[in-house]
């Protein structure tokens, strides 16, 4: 098993008093409260649409719902903090009311947006910038004492494509995670999850190098999130579209599981759960 490494890897997460066991991989469903996310099927700009998506994803087995109101696709429009908050909070409040046991992650790089959402009932902050785009983010995470998803990205969604240059992408990311995690640890953050940031300031060769070496991040002792669902690294390679990338997504998610991924962040929860169940059976100690 990929997770049976020399390094002790943290596999529990305290989200709003709920202790979540990540030794069995979990699935995080994506709900975009946006009109312009890269995959049209993920756009749920209305509260009713978001509620329907939340209900379906939870029924399909999602352990987390990741809710975002700022599109981070390349060259996305840079909306204001006020607009992001106004899009996000009604959906968060409605989902918290309808599904009080659901564990909600908030996809934002802005501390004020994150804090408002956590106060509205969310549990986790998922920051694509790893605190680099808002100097107040780490202090906010400490004050709120919530789990923090630390992703690697260069620049902003508007500039990242021009910054996809590395001498050694894995080593650069590892150094980044060591540095950022040390800061978080010294500040008193207890639950950190790392995300290699597939597709964020990465060319295809960088994305696939990181996937190939995913298990090597276990040296950090932290849970790993893989977010490759329907991305260009799949449909660009296969010469299809995001709408046609479900099969490729399932294949790559399965490879991620084999290399130690603890959380799969996906648009299609049912198919990801099937991959997890099959992976579990392959890795079980049962004999027939």
Question: Which residues carry out catalysis?
Answer: 231, 265
Alpha-carbon distance of 41 to 147, in angstroms, equals 28
Residue with tokens 């352990």: 63
Between strands 26-32 and 263-266, the pairing is parallel
Alpha-carbon distance of 65 to 71, in angstroms, equals 16
* HEC secondary structure over 200-220: CCCCHHHHHHHHHCHHHHHHH
Identify the CA nearest to 34 among candidates 157, 202, 218, 192: 157
Alpha-carbon distance of 196 to 61, in angstroms, equals 24
Task: Assess contact for 86 and 92: CB atoms under 8 A.
Answer: no
Phi, psi values for residue 273, rounded to 5°: -65, -35
User: Cβ atoms within 10 A of the Cβ of 122, count?
Assistant: 30
Radius of gyration of the chain (CA): 18
Alpha-carbon distance of 4 to 178, in angstroms, equals 21
Alpha-carbon distance of 28 to 32, in angstroms, equals 13
Residue 211's alpha-carbon distances to 220, 247, 257, in angstroms, are: 16, 17, 10
């Amino acid at each position: 098993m990929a997770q049976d490494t020399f390094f002790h890897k943290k596999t529990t997460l305290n989200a709003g008093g709920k202790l979540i066991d990540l030794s069995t991989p979990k699935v995080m469903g994506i709900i975009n409260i946006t009109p312009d996310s890269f995959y049209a099927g993920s756009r749920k700009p209305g509260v009713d649409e978001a509620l329907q998506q939340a209900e379906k994803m939870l029924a399909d087995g999602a352990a987390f719902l990741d809710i975002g109101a700022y599109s981070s696709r390349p060259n996305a429009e840079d909306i204001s903090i006020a607009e992001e908050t106004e899009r996000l909070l009604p959906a968060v409040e409605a989902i918290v009311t309808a599904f009080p046991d659901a564990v909600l992650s908030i996809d934002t790089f802005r501390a004020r947006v994150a804090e408002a959402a956590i106060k509205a009932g969310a549990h986790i902050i998922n920051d694509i910038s790893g605190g680099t785009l808002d100097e107040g983010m780490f202090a906010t995470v400490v004050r709120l004492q919530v789990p923090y998803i630390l992703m690697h990205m260069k620049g902003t969604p508007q500039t990242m494509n021009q910054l996809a240059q590395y001498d050694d992408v894995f080593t650069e990311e590892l150094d980044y995670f060591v540095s950022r995690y040390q800061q978080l640890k010294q500040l008193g953050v207890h639950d950190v999850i790392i995300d290699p940031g597939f597709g964020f300031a990465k060319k295809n060769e960088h994305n696939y190098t990181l996937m190939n070496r995913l298990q090597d991040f276990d040296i950090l002792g932290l849970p790993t999130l893989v977010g490759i669902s329907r991305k260009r690294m799949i449909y660009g390679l296969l010469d299809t579209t995001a709408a046609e990338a479900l099969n490729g997504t399932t294949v790559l998610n399965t490879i991620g599981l084999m290399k130690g991924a603890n959380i799969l962040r996906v648009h299609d929860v049912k198919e990801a759960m099937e991959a997890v169940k099959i992976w579990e059976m392959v890795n079980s100690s049962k004999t027939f």
